[in-house]
Amino acid sequence: MNRLVQGEVGSGKTVVALRAMLAVAESGGQAALLAPTEVLAAQHLRSIARMLGPGLAAEVMPTLVTGQMPAADRRRAALRVAAGQARIVVGTHALLGDTTSFADLGLVVVDEQHRFGVEQREALRLKGRHPHVLVLTATPIPRTVAMTVFGDLDVSTIRQLPAGRAGIETHLVPLAERPTWRARVWERLAEELAQGRQGFVVCPAIEAKLVEDDGGADAAPDAGGPVASVASVLAELTALPALSGARIAPLHGRMAADEKDEVMRAFAAGDLDVLVATTVIEVGVDVPNASTMVVVDADRFGVSQLHQLRGRVGRGSVPGLCLLVSAAEPGTVARERLEAVAATGDGFELARVDLELRQEGDVLGAMQSGGRSSLKLLRVARDGEVIADAREAAAGLLADDPKLAAHPALADAVRRRLDDETSEFLSRG
């Protein structure tokens, strides 16, 4: 299997992945789930253990491997993985290192594929003997991009959300024209807390002038000027009379792993009211009582990031509210992105808009987003039918003549077009 599963935030991709991992575990192999952050990896491990139940969890022994684990815990986990006792392994980039080896890796699951480079996915795949690959994304990829960048993957799409979701309202708070509305944002958050609900406040930086690079290629370019930080916004909220009784805590990537885990557990248990965080909470965090998502300096984030962030609320019967706070001027590209996110909750439509605004990048190489495109005459956002016809024709031609022996001119053109680096890229699974 070499498959990409794309679906909206909260559509059930983790359950699909777990079913695949259990199929491998049942046959005696191991499955590895690669997650982009320690917060998400720990959350995945807890949810997988909960879904398995105590009996099955003891049998397949789901195990966490991350870079910030204490050395003794890391050694125990590595031994369990190397011996094959752990049939399901969940981890971060630590899974890619030399210290992690598998007894029989049969399935690689990559969560939020856009957060990893091609080389990183390949490094994990090479730890097994031709393992199956299941790639998950909650940032839906337009069909044309799926055919080019992920041409070697079969694509499955989950189009529906589980029944009973209350939905999410998204509003742009345009500080360029309405600077006084910032105070109303915090009043609105306080109103939600008064109803017994919880909220997230997301900032692009941890401290002043220090932008946390959690966003990968999707992050919006730095527009200059001061950046809202976890430290400054935390100080602002704790000083507000309207939030005087609220239990507010920070969460960001520079905190120790056990500290982050403790904060997330407290928030999930309802012992905290508000998390002031960076994008470490972008994916995977599932707290049904959380109703409000405030993104400060929202123009600093990409379209898919904003769609992911608002997916952290409205996950239960409580209606979700997402407020995109930005001083971006009307008519700018940054403002267009925010207006697009506020206008629709359809991730597929947002993916199309995002592609048009950012371009497709180099679809035949490792530079997968923005900037230079290797396509001279085509654009994947515009020429989907031409690309589909060309791919079908190429597949038919290669099926009849894999070496292109009967088409020497075409073979020469392909050789001229693909340098050694690009050929190596295309040969990767």
Inter-axis angle of helices 347-358 and 333-343, nearest 10: 170
Q: How do residues 8-39 score in pLDDT, each as one tens digit?
A: 777 888 899 999 999 999 999 999 999 888 88
Instruction: Tell me 330's DSSP state.
Output: T
Cα 426 → chain centroid: 23
Structure-block tokens of residue 147:
């055919």
Instruction: State the pLDDT confidence band at 349, using cuts at 50, 70 and 90.
Output: confident
Q: What is the pTM of this model?
A: 0.71
Which tokens belong to 372?
Answer: 């230079």
Range ranked top by mean pLDDT from 71-75, 125-129, 152-156: 71-75
**CB proximity list for 227: less than 8 A, separation 6 or greater:** 203, 204, 205, 208, 209, 211, 297, 300
| Four-CA torsion 34, 425, 392, 383, nearest 10 degrees | 90
Give me the helices (H) in 130-204, please.
143-148, 181-194
Domain 2-158 is in which class? alpha beta
Same-fold call for 2-158 versus 168-345:
yes
- Express each pLDDT in 395-409 by its tens digit: 899 999 998 999 999
Measuring CA to CA, which residue among 324, 279, 374 is closest to residue 174?
324
261: tokens are 């885990």
Is a pLDDT exceeding 80 seen at residue 385?
Answer: no
Half-sphere CA count of 419, side-chain side, radius 13 A: 3
Radius of gyration of the chain (CA): 23
Q: Does 411 score more than 80 pLDDT?
A: yes
Query: Does an H or E element contain 134, and which?
Result: strand 132-137
3-state secondary structure 343-396: HCCCHHHHHHHHHHHHCCCCCCCCCCCCCCCCCCCCCCCCCHHHHHHHHHHHHH
Q: How many CB atoms lie within 10 A of CB 9?
A: 22
Compute the distance between CA of residue 118 and CA of residue 395 in angstroms, rounded to an integer: 23
Q: What is the pLDDT of residues 94-119, one digit of tens each?
A: 998 888 999 999 999 998 765 666 67
Distance CA 52, CA 56 (A): 5
pLDDT at 121 over 90: no
- pLDDT band at residue 125 under the 50/70/90 scheme: confident
Contact criterion met (CB below 8 Å) for 318 and 299 = no
The pLDDT of residue 429: 45
Q: What percent of the chain has pLDDT over 70?
A: 83
- Domain spans of the chain? 2-158, 168-345
Both tokens of residue 182?
């910032």
Pairing of strands 320-326, 168-174: parallel
- 6 three-class SS: strand
Task: Tell me which residue has tokens 């919006």.
Answer: 220
Query: pLDDT tens across 39-62, in order?
Result: 888 888 988 999 999 999 999 999
Q: DSSP label at 413?
A: H
Write down the CATH superfamily of domain 168-345.
P-loop containing nucleotide triphosphate hydrolases (3.40.50.300)
Residues 168-194 have a mean pLDDT of 95
